[in-house]
Protein backbone atom coordinates (compact mmCIF):
# COMPACT_ATOMS: atom_id res chain seq x y z
CA UNK A 1 0.00 0.00 0.00
CA UNK A 2 1.03 3.58 -0.56
CA UNK A 3 2.57 5.52 2.31
CA UNK A 4 5.38 8.07 2.65
CA UNK A 5 8.92 6.88 3.33
CA UNK A 6 9.46 9.68 5.86
CA UNK A 7 7.46 12.63 7.09
CA UNK A 8 8.47 15.76 8.96
CA UNK A 9 5.77 15.26 11.61
CA UNK A 10 4.33 11.87 12.60
CA UNK A 11 0.92 13.20 13.62
CA UNK A 12 -0.87 15.70 11.40
CA UNK A 13 -3.75 18.00 12.26
CA UNK A 14 -7.08 16.59 11.15
CA UNK A 15 -9.11 19.42 9.64
CA UNK A 16 -12.85 19.20 10.36
CA UNK A 17 -13.86 19.88 6.74
CA UNK A 18 -12.32 20.20 3.30
CA UNK A 19 -13.23 23.52 1.70
CA UNK A 20 -13.07 24.68 -1.91
CA UNK A 21 -12.03 23.15 -5.20
CA UNK A 22 -8.66 21.61 -5.97
CA UNK A 23 -5.71 23.95 -6.50
CA UNK A 24 -3.87 21.67 -8.91
CA UNK A 25 -4.25 18.37 -10.71
CA UNK A 26 -7.48 19.34 -12.46
CA UNK A 27 -6.36 18.63 -16.05
CA UNK A 28 -5.19 15.47 -17.81
CA UNK A 29 -1.39 15.45 -17.95
CA UNK A 30 -0.23 11.94 -18.88
CA UNK A 31 -3.10 9.90 -20.30
CA UNK A 32 -6.09 10.21 -22.60
CA UNK A 33 -8.75 9.27 -20.04
CA UNK A 34 -9.19 10.13 -16.37
CA UNK A 35 -11.35 9.75 -13.27
CA UNK A 36 -12.25 13.10 -11.69
CA UNK A 37 -13.50 13.61 -8.13
CA UNK A 38 -16.73 15.57 -7.70
CA UNK A 39 -16.86 15.60 -3.87
CA UNK A 40 -14.36 16.44 -1.11
CA UNK A 41 -13.22 13.45 0.95
CA UNK A 42 -10.29 11.60 2.47
CA UNK A 43 -9.34 8.64 0.24
CA UNK A 44 -7.47 5.93 2.15
CA UNK A 45 -4.44 4.04 0.86
CA UNK A 46 -6.54 0.85 0.84
CA UNK A 47 -9.16 2.46 -1.41
CA UNK A 48 -6.46 3.70 -3.82
CA UNK A 49 -4.96 0.20 -3.93
CA UNK A 50 -8.38 -1.38 -4.53
CA UNK A 51 -8.93 0.97 -7.49
CA UNK A 52 -5.48 0.21 -8.89
CA UNK A 53 -6.09 -3.54 -8.70
CA UNK A 54 -9.54 -3.33 -10.30
CA UNK A 55 -8.27 -1.17 -13.20
CA UNK A 56 -5.22 -3.36 -13.87
CA UNK A 57 -7.25 -6.58 -13.71
CA UNK A 58 -9.64 -5.24 -16.33
CA UNK A 59 -7.12 -3.74 -18.77
CA UNK A 60 -4.63 -6.61 -18.25
CA UNK A 61 -1.32 -5.70 -19.99
CA UNK A 62 -2.81 -3.14 -22.36
CA UNK A 63 -2.39 0.55 -21.77
CA UNK A 64 -0.64 2.50 -19.04
CA UNK A 65 -2.04 3.85 -15.78
CA UNK A 66 -1.04 6.78 -13.56
CA UNK A 67 -2.18 7.35 -9.97
CA UNK A 68 -2.37 11.12 -9.45
CA UNK A 69 -3.11 11.12 -5.69
CA UNK A 70 -0.86 10.04 -2.83
CA UNK A 71 -1.82 9.29 0.80
CA UNK A 72 0.51 11.59 2.75
CA UNK A 73 -1.71 12.46 5.73
CA UNK A 74 -1.48 10.24 8.82
CA UNK A 75 -4.74 9.51 10.66
CA UNK A 76 -4.30 8.63 14.32
CA UNK A 77 -6.43 6.35 16.46
CA UNK A 78 -6.54 5.17 20.07
CA UNK A 79 -6.78 1.41 20.69
CA UNK A 80 -10.24 -0.04 21.36
CA UNK A 81 -11.60 0.25 24.92
CA UNK A 82 -9.14 2.95 25.94
CA UNK A 83 -10.13 5.67 28.40
CA UNK A 84 -10.30 9.31 27.37
CA UNK A 85 -7.21 11.48 27.68
CA UNK A 86 -3.60 10.29 27.54
CA UNK A 87 -2.84 12.42 24.47
CA UNK A 88 -3.18 11.83 20.77
CA UNK A 89 -3.26 8.25 19.49
CA UNK A 90 -0.66 6.52 17.33
CA UNK A 91 -0.78 6.80 13.50
CA UNK A 92 -3.24 4.19 12.23
CA UNK A 93 -3.55 4.65 8.45
CA UNK A 94 -2.77 7.10 5.64
CA UNK A 95 -5.16 9.17 3.53
CA UNK A 96 -5.03 11.48 0.53
CA UNK A 97 -7.03 14.71 0.79
CA UNK A 98 -9.10 14.93 -2.40
CA UNK A 99 -11.03 18.06 -3.32
CA UNK A 100 -13.61 18.46 -6.11
CA UNK A 101 -12.04 18.66 -9.57
CA UNK A 102 -9.00 16.53 -8.76
CA UNK A 103 -8.03 13.88 -11.32
CA UNK A 104 -7.22 10.72 -9.39
CA UNK A 105 -6.38 8.16 -12.10
CA UNK A 106 -5.31 8.42 -15.75
CA UNK A 107 -5.23 5.81 -18.52
CA UNK A 108 -3.56 5.75 -21.93
CA UNK A 109 -3.33 3.33 -24.84
CA UNK A 110 -6.89 1.97 -24.66
CA UNK A 111 -10.07 2.45 -26.66
CA UNK A 112 -12.88 4.56 -25.17
CA UNK A 113 -15.18 1.67 -24.17
CA UNK A 114 -12.44 -0.26 -22.34
CA UNK A 115 -11.17 2.83 -20.52
CA UNK A 116 -14.70 3.83 -19.48
CA UNK A 117 -15.46 0.37 -18.10
CA UNK A 118 -12.15 0.23 -16.21
CA UNK A 119 -12.76 3.64 -14.61
CA UNK A 120 -16.34 2.69 -13.75
CA UNK A 121 -15.07 -0.38 -11.90
CA UNK A 122 -12.58 1.80 -10.02
CA UNK A 123 -15.32 4.31 -9.15
CA UNK A 124 -17.27 1.54 -7.39
CA UNK A 125 -14.39 1.23 -4.91
CA UNK A 126 -14.45 4.92 -3.95
CA UNK A 127 -16.68 6.64 -1.36
CA UNK A 128 -17.24 9.73 -3.54
CA UNK A 129 -19.02 10.71 -6.74
CA UNK A 130 -16.67 10.68 -9.73
CA UNK A 131 -16.79 11.55 -13.41
CA UNK A 132 -15.10 9.88 -16.39
CA UNK A 133 -13.28 12.42 -18.55
CA UNK A 134 -11.39 12.14 -21.82
CA UNK A 135 -8.96 14.37 -23.68
CA UNK A 136 -11.46 14.84 -26.55
CA UNK A 137 -13.96 16.67 -24.27
Residue 14: pLDDT band with limits 50, 70, 90? confident
What proportion of the chain, given as a percentage, has pLDDT over 70?
Answer: 99
Chain centre distance of CA 59: 19
Task: Give the separation between CA 74 and CA 60, rounded to whole angstroms.
Answer: 32
pLDDT at residue 34 in the model: 98
**pLDDT tens, residue by residue, 27-86:** 999 999 999 999 999 999 999 999 999 999 999 999 999 999 999 999 999 999 999 999
- Its pTM stands at 0.94
* C-alpha span between 55 and 90 (Å, rounded): 32
Q: Quick check: 137 pLDDT over 80?
A: no
Cα angle 57, 63, 69 (rounded to 5 degrees) comes to: 75
Kindly list the structural domains of the chain, giving each domain's residue range(s) and its CATH number in brackets, ordered by start. 33-77+90-134 (3.90.1170.10)
Amino acid sequence: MLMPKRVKYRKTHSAPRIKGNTKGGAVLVHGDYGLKALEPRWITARQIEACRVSIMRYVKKNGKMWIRIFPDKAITKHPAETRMGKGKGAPDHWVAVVKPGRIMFELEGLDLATAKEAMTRAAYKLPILTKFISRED
